Structure 1
Amino acid sequence: MTAAPRRPAVLVALLSAVLCVLPACSSSEGTERSSASTTTTEATPTEAPVQPVEWTDCTADIAPIIAGRPGADRPLTFGCGQVEVPLSYDDPAGPTLSLFAVRAVSGAQTDRIGSLVVNPGGPGLSATDAAVQAALTLPDAVVGRFDVVGVDPRGVGLSQPVECIPDATKDELTAAEPRPGTAEEVDAAFALADDVAEGCVDTYGAGLGAFSTVDSARDLDRVRQAVGDTQLTYLGYSYGTTLGSTYAELYPENVRALVLDGAVDPDADRESAAEAQAAGFEAAFDAFAANCTALVGGCPVGADPRAFLGDLLTQAETAPVPSSREGETRQATPGLVLAAVRSALYNPAAWPQLAQSLAAAQAGDAAGVLTLADTFTGRGEDGTYTNTIDANITISCSDTDEEYAQSDVRPLVADWGARYPLFGAEAALSLYTCTPWDAPRTPLPDRDAEGAAPILVVGTQGDPVTPLPGAVDMAADLASGVLLTWQGSGHTAYPKTQCVTDAVNAYLVDLAAPAADLTCPA
């Protein structure tokens, strides 16, 4: 999971009229699992036709939110709107959901190609937030040719958000022991997962099955139609590569250009994926440590950052670290310390902040650690959370029929905890999350997208979240997949380096896919 930027209250107030709680929008017919067999791309005789988005100018509301950010001086206008989709594609003329959309248009746009639809991943991150950020930061060569569009997927952000985990429970989840060393600590982790699943099922029942990626991919084709494009141009990061490749499988003929950056491995089962991610984060921490100890002025956490962190985790376990932040009542437990580490390992630009925060925590002030952890989990200063955690668990469990019993997970906690000392046990525990999830499932389809135009898959050699083998597998599985590898660090690559940026720009604008297996230096 990646961190969600918090949505300012002014935008929430602006958009609140389009929201409704899912049970109030649904019917008994709409709670069944959607069929994975339908691949129709246009409205059927029984399905409501797709209406063009009626964009309302919301530039004045977004302007104060982006003020001071890099790119805020671009001549951008923003529109806000909705796309109606069926709650269940098994009942296409039945109840609907309203998906919230944001469009950014540059005043310098020339020779418009169409819309670039963006998704930041998660699952559970807001695509409308991502569209605003993309309009500020994507290269002029792209923003000058496309409208930048983000649509929060069903259950996410402002699109009928799934909200079934209380803030207090989220505090408990993030503060929980990430490296359980006793049977009692493992039992506590299982019990917390049971509580989360029970709470969500009690809130939504079988309606939880409406939030699968297959359904969101079908929604994406209605988005394509609603913005007036004959084919989809799409930029997806992390989980967004799962959504994009599922779209390509269902609607290969509707693909114009898909960039899948930081690909989630389509061939890995949940156990393999979890272990690969644990190994990836361990390697990323070693890269952080090597970078820190090479600093001319010395590393704030000393000559052995791994040993320093181990000592800090032991310290936080016996005496959680208080914070100097005004009004803060939490203390940093090992769970919060490792959440801060994980947050910073997504992006090497945050490594200096991580080093300083760990050093300060060892000295008795966890303010920096809590800031990093909250960025990762979507927690605000007032103690409330975005719905990223709710949506992440709901969508992830909707997408799989794999289940791991407690007896399967216990030995992995010990084994991975020994092999991946920082992140292994927590990765093993995550396998149990969907086991108590008593709701309909729509497993992801195999994806070769036969018949689609070339699809660009981007992988990063030092990506801890979606390790490079996932991109290799994704590109190999897709009949028209083209792999681009960046020899850098951190999660995702575009537009972080000129080589990658030039290749992706040429593909998006001119449909010129790079040569097979192009590798860009760090």
Structure 2
Amino acid sequence: MPRRPRSVIALLAALVLTALVLTTGGCTLPAFAPDGADSPADPGAGAGTPDTASTPGAAAQWRPCAAVPEKLVGRGAAGMTYDCATVAVPRDWAKPDSGATYDVAMIRVHSKSQKNRIGSLLINPGGPGGSGIDYAVYLSFGPQMGGLPTEITDKFDLIGFDPRGVGRSSPLKCISDRDQDANFGSDPDPVSQAEFDEVAALNKKIADGCGQKYGDQLPFFSTEQAARDIDALRAAVGDQKLTYLGYSYGTLLGATYAQLFPQNVRALVLDGAIDPTETYVKGSETQAKGFERAFGNFTKWCKAHPGTCPISADPRGAVTDAMAKAEVSPVAYSDGRKATSGWIFYGLISSLYTESGWTSLARAIDDLQAGDAKGIMDLADQYAEREQDGTYSNLFDANLAVNCADTDAAPTVQRVRQLQSQWRKKYPIFGAPLAIGMLPCVYWPGKRDPYPAGKANGAPPIVVVGTTGDPATPYENTADLAAMLGTGHVLTWEGEGHTAYPSTPCVVQAVDGYLIDLKVPQEGLRCPAK
């Protein structure tokens, strides 16, 4: 059954994805499958895109594709038109004339009330693995439905794109649904050596399967390759300079673009910052710290709102007790699965992306204590992009391929085991799973293609937005990314959840002023939570 967006905050909970591998198999938080596809045979099916892509460097050939919003949400937004196109890009930008290409699918959302058009606003929701096509559709419904402000859609065409390997863009698919179920259901903190070896073996099986299927192509799914695709998209839509809105992993993609093509930047908004200077291990620990802090904020809220939070007497104890009991006697679910500690952990992760998710978590844990697993499994399935028939989108396949292609210094298995113990003490719920989450890239068979981490010399001012309660891209990353780029300016939202725009009038005013008039937000501006 399709899930419907309630607001931008709900959308960001469902679609703005984390940037690093969080647990075994990767870390993301989407709720909408990229066209529901489970096979890479036809990346344009249902998307309204041409059957064949243009030649590299050609202008986009747009076709009406009202079927896309109709399939996603039942209709298109009033006053909006939807057109799709596919652009061919070299598989390897180091050898652009090799003749081998990938197809990158786009959607263009145009407001019929648009006046004094500035250009296109390219959008990436994060991941890696999130569908920008789907996200542009959701954001097209305007502020009354939680979409982008009309001030933006009146000036820009929204361009959503699925990066290479994602959704409709030559999608990568190498993890079976059975292995996905085993992965999500496995122990997030296997303590005994036998339990650890079992989880490690599953991760190796998944990594080996991707290597067997894609082999020498695996390095081509890196962030740097995708950033170079963005410049091809910019040219294909006819913009001399890029205007870009990137969330979560999309900040890394945008930052990489700014370093590669600073002269082609008009305006970049990077919301939910990744710090490209962090090592793979440090980035994983940063996320453990961020989620632990967010869970602490949840417990404070829960205790202060007993009427809304049925586990308010001891919220941390209720969650940890539920996971401990699941190790011994997991609650059965109606579809034949059991609510193991792994599924509970993913349900917990899912709920922490927005403050509105806290109520769902409290109710789900309370129901689980009473023997009803539906709430927690719904949260976990939303996170995993698992459909009711047991199929998965290719989001986690792409997430794994991109993250591992980007990683040039994965730890050894022995080091992961050490960090599991160390981080469990520092971050009681999230530390060990974040350490275990590095295993896929430990076993990854492909060559690596790490992204650059330096100044965007020659780029104009870039706005980097951070949320003080962000679990997935902790607020500390914001200033670090701005400083690394050299042209970054920090905008702070003193709120909860993952990413900020467009959450409050203060954030909206600051970001809109920058995107439309290139007015950089006041230095040190901090927007209140409400």
TM value normalised by structure 1: 0.91
CA apart distance, 1:125? 0.8
Q: Aligned residue for 1:278?
A: 288
User: Counterpart of 1:479 in structure 2: which amino acid?
Assistant: G
Deviations 1:339-358 (A, max 9, x none): 00100101111111111111
Compared CA separation, residues 48 and 160, structure 1 to 2 (3 A): closer
CA apart distance, 1:288? 1.1
CA apart distance, 1:149? 0.5
Distance 2:169 2:203 in 1: 25
Distance 1:302 1:49 in 2: 57
Q: Aligned residue for 1:502?
A: 509
Deviations 1:371-393 (A, max 9, x none): 11011111111100011111111
CA apart distance, 1:302? 3.3
User: What SS does the corresponding residue of 2:407 show, helix, strand or coil?
Assistant: coil
2:10 aligned with 1:3: no
Distance 1:265 1:510 in 2: 27
Q: Aligned residue for 2:112?
A: 107
Consecutive aligned runs of 4 or more in structure 1 exceeding 3 Å deviation: 7-13, 15-20
CA apart distance, 1:400? 1.6
User: Counterpart of 1:385 in structure 2: which amino acid?
Assistant: Y
Compared CA separation, residues 288 and 153, structure 1 to 2 (3 A): same
Deviations 1:111-138 (A, max 9, x none): 1111000001111111111111121201
User: What SS does the corresponding residue of 2:338 show, helix, strand or coil?
Assistant: coil
User: What SS does the corresponding residue of 1:358 show, helix, strand or coil?
Assistant: helix
2:454 aligned with 1:447: yes
CA apart distance, 1:49? 5.5
Q: Aligned residue for 1:175?
A: 185
Q: Aligned residue for 1:75?
A: 79
- Of 141, 145, 149 in structure 1, the residue corresponding to residue 159 of structure 2 is 149
User: What SS does the corresponding residue of 1:492 show, helix, strand or coil?
Assistant: coil
Distance 2:35 2:167 in 1: 12
CA apart distance, 1:310? 1.3
Distance 1:210 1:130 in 2: 24
Q: Please give the root-mean-square deviation of Cα atoms over the aligned residues, in Å.
A: 1.9
Q: Aligned residue for 2:275?
A: 265
Distance 1:121 1:465 in 2: 11
Compared CA separation, residues 452 and 17, structure 1 to 2 (3 A): closer
Report 1:39-188 matches (<5 A). 50-63=57-70, 65-67=72-74, 73-93=77-97, 94-136=99-141, 137-188=147-198
User: What SS does the corresponding residue of 1:14 show, helix, strand or coil?
Assistant: coil
Distance 2:431 2:247 in 1: 24
Distance 1:89 1:510 in 2: 33
User: What SS does the corresponding residue of 1:329 show, helix, strand or coil?
Assistant: coil
User: What SS does the corresponding residue of 1:249 show, helix, strand or coil?
Assistant: helix
Indicate the larger mover: 216-225 or 262-271: 262-271
Report 1:224-239 matches (<5 A). 224-239=234-249
Q: Aligned residue for 2:520?
A: 513
CA apart distance, 1:13? 3.8
Q: Aligned residue for 2:350?
A: 343
Q: Aligned residue for 1:38?
A: none
2:274 aligned with 1:247: no
User: What SS does the corresponding residue of 1:460 show, helix, strand or coil?
Assistant: strand
Q: Aligned residue for 1:291?
A: 301
Distance 1:19 1:486 in 2: 43
Q: Does the 8 A contact of 1:53 with 1:81 survive in 2?
A: yes
Compared CA separation, residues 219 and 380, structure 1 to 2 (3 A): same
User: Counterpart of 2:516 in structure 1: which amino acid?
Assistant: V
Instruction: Point out where structure 2 has 5 or more consecutive residues left out of the alignment.
Output: 1-26, 38-42, 142-146
2:426 aligned with 1:422: no
Indicate the larger mover: 228-237 or 432-441: 432-441
User: What SS does the corresponding residue of 1:54 show, helix, strand or coil?
Assistant: coil
CA apart distance, 1:517? 2.2
Indicate the larger mover: 214-223 or 354-363: 354-363
Compared CA separation, residues 237 and 493, structure 1 to 2 (3 A): same
User: Counterpart of 1:392 in structure 2: which amino acid?
Assistant: N
User: Counterpart of 1:6 in structure 2: which amino acid?
Assistant: A
CA apart distance, 1:216? 0.5
User: Counterpart of 1:505 in structure 2: which amino acid?
Assistant: D
Distance 1:298 1:153 in 2: 40
Deviations 1:308-329 (A, max 9, x none): 11111111111111224xxx11
Report 1:311-390 matches (<5 A). 311-324=321-334, 328-390=335-397
User: Counterpart of 2:29 in structure 1: which amino acid?
Assistant: A
Q: Does the 8 A contact of 1:238 with 1:263 survive in 2?
A: yes
CA apart distance, 1:240? 0.3
Compared CA separation, residues 12 and 345, structure 1 to 2 (3 A): farther
Distance 2:115 2:108 in 1: 16
Compared CA separation, residues 17 and 81, structure 1 to 2 (3 A): closer
Distance 1:186 1:263 in 2: 32
User: Counterpart of 2:113 in structure 1: which amino acid?
Assistant: A
Q: Does the 8 A contact of 2:353 with 2:472 survive in 1?
A: yes
User: Counterpart of 1:377 in structure 2: which amino acid?
Assistant: A
Distance 2:159 2:395 in 1: 20
- Of 407, 415, 437 in structure 1, the residue corresponding to residue 414 of structure 2 is 407
Q: Aligned residue for 1:14?
A: 46
User: What SS does the corresponding residue of 2:520 show, helix, strand or coil?
Assistant: coil
User: What SS does the corresponding residue of 2:439 show, helix, strand or coil?
Assistant: coil
Distance 1:480 1:176 in 2: 43
CA apart distance, 1:299? 2.2
Distance 1:61 1:388 in 2: 18
Distance 2:88 2:435 in 1: 39
Q: Does the 8 A contact of 1:110 with 1:144 survive in 2?
A: yes
Q: Aligned residue for 1:194?
A: 204
User: Counterpart of 2:102 in structure 1: which amino acid?
Assistant: L
Distance 1:215 1:452 in 2: 20
TM value normalised by structure 2: 0.89
CA apart distance, 1:67? 3.4
Deviations 1:472-507 (A, max 9, x none): 100111121111111111000000111111100000
- Of 313, 317, 323 in structure 2, the residue corresponding to residue 303 of structure 1 is 313
Q: Does the 8 A contact of 2:48 with 2:63 survive in 1?
A: no
Indicate the larger mover: 391-400 or 298-307: 298-307
Distance 1:64 1:154 in 2: 22
